[in-house]
Amino acid sequence: MTVGIASAMMMLTTSCQQTQRENPLLVESQLPFGASDFSKIKVTDYLPAFEAAIEQQRANIQQIVECTDSATFANTILPFEDSGRLLDRVSRVFFAIVEADKTPEIGEIEKQVQPMITELENEISFNRPLFERIRQVYEREYETLQGEDRKLLEEIYKDFVRKGALLAEDKMERMKQINRRISDLQQQWGDVLPDATNNAVVWVDTKEELAGLSEADIAQCAKDAESRGGKAPYAIVIVNTTQQAPLASLDNRDLRRRVFEASVHRADGTGAFNTFPIACEIAKLRAEQAELMGYDNYASYSLEKTMAKTPENVYAFLKNLISQYTPKAEAETKAIEDFARQTEGPDFQLQPYDRFYYSAKMKKQLLNISDDEVKPYFNIDSVLINGVFYAANRAYGLTFKQLDDFPTYHPDMKAFEVIDKDGSPLALFYCDYFRRPTKRGGAWMDGFQKQSRQWQQQPIIFNVCNSAKAPDGQPSLLTWDEVTTMFHEFGHALHGILSACQYNRLSGTSVARDFVEMPSQFNESFASIPEIFDHYALHCETGEPMPADLKERMLASINFQTAYALGENLAATCLDLAWHMLPSTDIPTAEQAAAFETEALRQIGLLNTQIPPRYSTSYFNHVFGGGYAAGYYSYLWTEVLAVNIADVFAQRGALEPQTGQDFRDKVLSRGNTGDLMQMFTDFTGMAQPDASGLLKARGL
């Protein structure tokens, strides 16, 4: 324990005396893998832990700077890599809680912590003596270093340069100011958007209004109403995407309209729930950042470090997809409206809140399938154990042992030890799948601890989703979309679990945005492999596998009318780019934001009221609250890579152990230790990805 940590130990006051208590965030955990002991962590532990960890990293950086020996990889780069280890640990735990269980107390601590972290990052990024030592090592040793050492040096040096280490003093000072303000704005976004989404809940007075929903879904609406204050007997909760699942079943058209409008307008109104001012200011500051660094716009600046390299390459990729997609989307819309008019009359005008409803009825008529018919076979526990874990066992030889009574940050969370094919302990995996008011929308993967041989630590990885938790005594059932989401997020988890890298900075998912989504999108393919599907698609009451006829109809329906899914993704992608292609002088005001969004979609050919963006600007958390600015295209870009890789698996045997081992060795274990395109080539044998399979894979 260092002096810095000891000075930050929290003092607990009793009625008569003070006793000293060790802060569990600042001492070695006795749990397997060094996992954080959430049973001991108190909310009041976080702030002093951050203070101690920041103090320690400052001291470590100062020690590097004050070294009088000539700068070398050993005395500069390695100590720099190690300098923030404690802060990394504390931050990973705290910000996992911020995302998944943000109580008011956690929110208040975040407001204190975020400026502290931003200030430290500014201090490090613009520390000229530190950067000078790093630059000396880069100039002297880059050509002679090998493997991960060379890659680590390259990443650290270029990261400093991209953050502005070579800027003149006045520009450097402005960059610091921008960093502080963006950090503050993103924290505001993280406060406002979840509150706006929770506030957008649609209250329903009678069960009759919910006609069309299953009894299980109606019971869920009652439970959601109770958990949110009981303003009415039933509530339809708004999730993070534009379209809402109940719209496929609700017979009441006016209620469908209310749900859709609540979703679309959750954060673009007036008052406390308007995020447009935040989004516009973030976009303006990002554009100014890019200009300070000598780029025309933020997209050009951001994309330089990706596989795509330039906005022009991204737009060429997208425009090719749009040209092929557009006629299929128009035909799909016409078919749904024509179908609706068979019952609603020749003058019926299809609205966006009608689309899922009549598409579901059309699917039922043409394919004789509905979500309510298949959901009983998608019990979340079976999907996890008999599907997600079973696929990982068949492909990579992994087994999973549930750790009962293992301390977690929420009772809904489960913990598993991941055991490698040779019987050795490999990682810890946590899953937190049920929605709650304190959790932000969406689904994600992260880690409490990344794999690193340098730090002698194994990965501790978690997945978070937002599925509905059934009332007590009932099984929690999933839609097919939620099933594939679980497989998707576990693909990210595997990227972290199977990492085998020397350095924390390079391990696991520390890769470009337009590569990081590939393992996750590829892992979705396991969900529909017959042997995997049959293993988890078991009836929640009888345990019987899904009948062959129903399975055939269900799998055939996966690609029914998929133009919508591609269109909403394309529209969101192009919105992201539109905001980040602007110079700082052209960023719209908050009052102009909605009109800018409409015009941006019109210009690219995606203004379609029937197929709105998956996320509109006011609730586009990936872009304005997360790390996907100018990078949302990566979901489509990496889908091409994933389709190519799935084809190789299919050719070689999707569940053939050697195929999985090759993918593990050549891609999943390597983190960011080499050229990403070369990793793709090493596994597939393809010099370049083949985009022709994308539309085919989507049934288009």
Please identify every residue annotated as catalytic: 489
407: tokens are 């301390």
Q: What are the backbone dihedrals phi and psi of residue 236, each rounded to the nearest 5 degrees, phi first?
A: -105, 115
Cβ atoms within 10 Å, residue 84: 23
Distance between first and last Cα of the chain: 60
Q: Nearest 5°: phi and psi at 466? A: -135, 50
- Is the Cβ–Cβ distance between 239 and 466 less than 8 Å? yes
Residue whose tokens read 């706006």? 196
Which distant-in-sequence residues (6+ apart) come within 8 Å of 603 by Cβ? none
Consecutive H or E run containing 415: strand 414-419
Among 231, 249, 229, 241, residue whose Cα is nearest residue 266? 241
Give, in degrees to the nearest 5, the angle at Cα 238 between 236 and 239: 130
User: If you search the block for the tokens 């199977």, which residue do you land on?
Assistant: 498
563-580 helix and 593-604 helix, angle to the nearest 10 degrees: 120
Torsions phi, psi of 498, nearest 5? -90, 5
- Report the distance separating Cα 628 and Cα 650, nearest Å: 31
Would the CA dihedral through 357, 359, 363, 366 be positive or negative?
positive
> Regarding beta strands 444-449 and 202-204, do their DSSP bridges make them parallel or antiparallel, or are they unpaired?
unpaired
Return d(Cα 241, Cα 276) in angstroms, integer: 17
CA nearest neighbour of 413 among 427, 423, 428: 428
Burial readout 512-525 (b: 16 or more C-beta within 10 A, e: otherwise): bbbbbbbbbbbbbb
Residue 136 φ then ψ, to 5°: -60, -45
Compute the Cα dihedral for 144, 150, 156, 158 and give only its sign: positive
- The DSSP code sequence of 17-45 is -EEE---TTSS---SGGG---TTT--GGG
DSSP state of 543: -
Q: Which helix (H) or strand (E) holds 426?
A: strand 425-434
- According to DSSP, the residues that pair with 427 across neighbouring strands are 418
| Cα 420 to Cα 397: distance, rounded to the nearest angstrom | 6
* Calpha distance 508→504 (Å, rounded): 8
| Chain centroid offset of residue 242 CA | 17
Tokens for 362? 């059309």
| CA–CA distance, 204 with 225 (Å, rounded to integer) | 9
